[in-house]
Amino acid sequence: MGRWMKPEVYPLMAAMSFVTGMCIFQLTRNVFLNPDVRVNKAHRSTAILENPEEGEKYVEHSLRKFLRTRPPEVMPAVNRFFSENK
């Protein structure tokens, strides 16, 4: 493995693995939880989704509910440090 992978490549491999994992997570989430994706043959015959509660449940997931209560800051400590008057 040392001949093929140099130490300079490790950060790139870590970033690519993380992004690939995120893509796989999102695709899996969409296939199993998205109400617009119909795998079952009986459900594919309906053209319009007649269950708005299912769509609302998909959109309002627990992470979105948690983030709604948090302030929209990436680094709150750094923002406070530079915004305070001394």
**Structural domains of the chain, count:** 1
Whether pTM exceeds 0.85: no
* Cα separation, 2 vs 6, whole angstroms: 6
Is 19 inside any structural domain? Answer: yes
* Cα separation, 56 vs 53, whole angstroms: 5
Is 30 inside any structural domain? Answer: yes
Tokens of 24: 């796989």
Is 28 inside any structural domain? Answer: yes
Is 2 inside any structural domain? Answer: no
Write down the pLDDT at residue 2.
62
**Residue 33: which domain range?**
7-83
The values of phi and psi at residue 9, to 5°, are -85, -15
Write down the pLDDT at residue 62.
86
The model's pLDDT over 22-59, given as tens digits with 9 standing for 90+, comes to: 999 999 988 888 877 777 777 777 766 677 787 788 88
* Cα separation, 83 vs 78, whole angstroms: 9
Is 76 inside any structural domain? Answer: yes
Is 1 inside any structural domain? Answer: no
* Cα separation, 50 vs 43, whole angstroms: 11
* Cα separation, 2 vs 40, whole angstroms: 47
Tokens of 76: 């709150």
